[in-house]
Amino acid sequence: MSGRIDRFKKRKEILKKNQSLPFVRGVTDQEQVDKLLSQDVDSNRLKNLDYSTDFNASLEANSAEVEALLSELRTSFHKDRLEQLIDETKRGVISSIAGPFGLGKIISAYDKAGGNVTTINNANNGVYAKDEDRYRREDYTHSKNSEGKQFANAGKNSSGAIYTRSQMDDNHMVQDAYTGKMTKADATSPDHIESLSQHHKNGGFMQSSAPKADFATDEDNLALTDRSINQSMRDFDKEEWMSKKDKSGAENKDRFDIDEQKLKDKIQQGKETSARHLPSDTDKAKHYLKNSATTGVSEGVKMGAQQAFGYLLVEFFSSAIVEIKDAYNNGLEGESLYKDVKVRLIRIGRNIADKWKGVVEGFSAGFISGFISNIITTLVNMFVTTAKRFVRMIREGVFSLLKALKLILFPPANMSFAETMHEAMKLIAAGGVVISGVALEEVIEKLILGVPFLAPFAPVVTAVIVGSLTAIAMSLVAYLIDRMDILGVIKAQETKFILENLDKDIDEKLKRCERISEEVDEFLSEGSFLLPQSS
């Protein structure tokens, strides 16, 4: 701006200087006049001035021209966005193949149905995260309780044997707890009213061996009954067992002459006893938190590695494609193919090395999402047992959700709130597409396995197909969100683009005017020698 003012002042000074000269001038040298008049017009100089001398410019605005100009600028804006979308789609295809459907598929091999933490809901469905969480009768019957006793495998000192002796009369007879009949003690065996396996499913798996043995040896949960009844009951729910039928159609309660009321009273007694021995709500919460944190670190490392290594793969393939295009268009850089490849690989390596911040950010984002998704999976499995593939869906969904949340909470400095929310919508939608892709993956893989010559390459082919389809779908969804423009962000960007281009055009025309003014100033300065000297 200061340059324009200086030039303006300079022109004013020249004009003032010329105006101050006397109107009456001395006689000009006729020889110089003849010389000037005899000269031809300098066409080259006129061409160099590069401006029109036609000053009949109309100042009236033509609406048709204005609309044509605006239409041209809008078309240019959307063309630029389309080219950007195509470039992002290309990168997205590489990213999807390398990320969720490449490395993610490898990592998912370690996923478990029901997640990484055993919950009571999963245990009741027979799903355990770790082998040591599974029910083993010996943990209850052959382990010592807090008083050093054990239910079985200790001969006459076993708690089961001691309980049987305590129930005998002088004739070694005992009353059957389920029929009410008197029977010989040696024909009976102590039955755990609330079965050890059911107690285990309800939270016993969280306990160490001593608390398990405490429950197994608690006499409030023991009942003497005929050995045949005990063997028939096994670990069945006793209510269901009573109504079970044999081959002849007779129900167990009739076959064994069960006193239903006595059995129901004992069932209630057993449930109350089990409840006293189960972990408290506080202990259950501690168990879930401790195991979720431990396994969450492992999940975080896996997800972090997926994102970091996936980022490196994307950068490698993107750089490689650029180098291949350059080699095709400009030929080899070295004297031989070997040297050319070496030079290009070094350049690719340097380019990847410069992206270390992206690797760190990718790992940290992946670690956090993996940790949180593990906790969410545990919470979900408290109510419903998740399938193995669903665990992966949660992981990928949480990652997209966290990216959107990060954008909302820590937006770039040059991004408005509306633009932030618009981009967050696209991230969430992209997460939904990835989840759908994971669900579709199993179907695609089965179809590929049905083709004999493709079967050995099914994992790779599936990753390429599903990854490509997912990336294209993500781009289309992003395009639709842009077209819908719920928050008016694209319209605002279009207006900004038009105004910037109009300003740019005006600046260029002003600069051209300044160049013309400078050339006129120079012309006037150069022609000053023709002015006569004042008398």
* Average of per-residue pLDDT across 262-284: 93
Amino acid at 349: G
Q: Crossing angle, helix 489-526 and helix 63-98, to 10 degrees? A: 120
pLDDT at position 474 is 83
Using alpha carbons only, give the angle 218, 223, 226 rounded to the nearest 5 degrees.
145
pLDDT at position 128 is 92
* Average of per-residue pLDDT across 103-119: 74
* Average of per-residue pLDDT across 300-319: 81
* Average of per-residue pLDDT across 324-344: 79
pLDDT at position 145 is 92
Asked if pLDDT for residue 37 goes beyond 80, the answer is: no
If pLDDT is split at 50, 70 and 90, which confidence band does 361 have?
confident
Rounded to the nearest integer, the mean pLDDT of the chain is 81
pLDDT at position 237 is 87
If pLDDT is split at 50, 70 and 90, which confidence band does 6 have?
low
pLDDT at position 533 is 45
Residue pair 195/273 in contact (Cβ under 8 Å)? The answer is: no
Asked if pLDDT for residue 278 goes beyond 90, the answer is: yes
* Average of per-residue pLDDT across 467-482: 84
For residues 204 and 444, the model is more confident at 204
Residue pair 304/366 in contact (Cβ under 8 Å)? The answer is: yes
**pLDDT tens per residue, range 434-444:** 888 888 877 88
> 280 by DSSP, 3-state: which?
coil
**pLDDT tens per residue, range 226-235:** 999 989 888 8
**pLDDT tens per residue, range 513-532:** 888 877 777 765 655 444 44
pLDDT at position 531 is 44
The pair of structure tokens assigned to 55 is 């000053």
If pLDDT is split at 50, 70 and 90, which confidence band does 215 have?
very high
Q: Which secondary structure element, helix H or strand E, spans residue 18, and what is its range?
A: helix 2-19
* Average of per-residue pLDDT across 127-147: 92
Using alpha carbons only, give the angle 207, 213, 217 rounded to the nearest 5 degrees.
140
Residue pair 149/215 in contact (Cβ under 8 Å)? The answer is: no
Residue 163: name the closest of 222, 212, 216, 210 by CA: 222
Percent of all residues in the chain with a pLDDT value above 70, rounded to a whole number: 83
The pair of structure tokens assigned to 375 is 């906790």
Burial code (b: 16+ CB inside 10 Å, e: under 16) for 42-62 equals: eeeeeeeeeeeeeeeeeeeee
If pLDDT is split at 50, 70 and 90, which confidence band does 151 have?
very high
Lowest mean pLDDT among 120-134, 183-197, 244-258, 298-312: 298-312
Residue pair 77/498 in contact (Cβ under 8 Å)? The answer is: yes
pLDDT at position 96 is 66
Q: How far apart are CA 489 and CA 339, in angstroms?
A: 49
pLDDT at position 302 is 84
pLDDT at position 54 is 55
Indicate the domain borders of the chain.
65-110+389-399+409-498, 134-278, 280-386
Q: Hey, what's the torsion of the CAs at 330, 335, 338, 340, to 10 degrees?
A: -30
pLDDT at position 280 is 92
If pLDDT is split at 50, 70 and 90, which confidence band does 45 have?
low
* Average of per-residue pLDDT across 272-282: 93
If pLDDT is split at 50, 70 and 90, which confidence band does 98 have?
low
pLDDT at position 203 is 93
pLDDT at position 220 is 94
Burial of 205 (0-12, 13-18, 19+ CB in 10 A): buried
Amino acid at 341: V
pLDDT at position 462 is 78
For residues 362 and 229, the model is more confident at 229
**pLDDT tens per residue, range 116-135:** 899 999 999 899 988 999 99
Residue pair 387/335 in contact (Cβ under 8 Å)? The answer is: no
* Average of per-residue pLDDT across 203-213: 93
Burial of 94 (0-12, 13-18, 19+ CB in 10 A): buried
If pLDDT is split at 50, 70 and 90, which confidence band does 56 have?
low
Residue pair 277/200 in contact (Cβ under 8 Å)? The answer is: no
Amino acid at 324: I
pLDDT at position 136 is 93
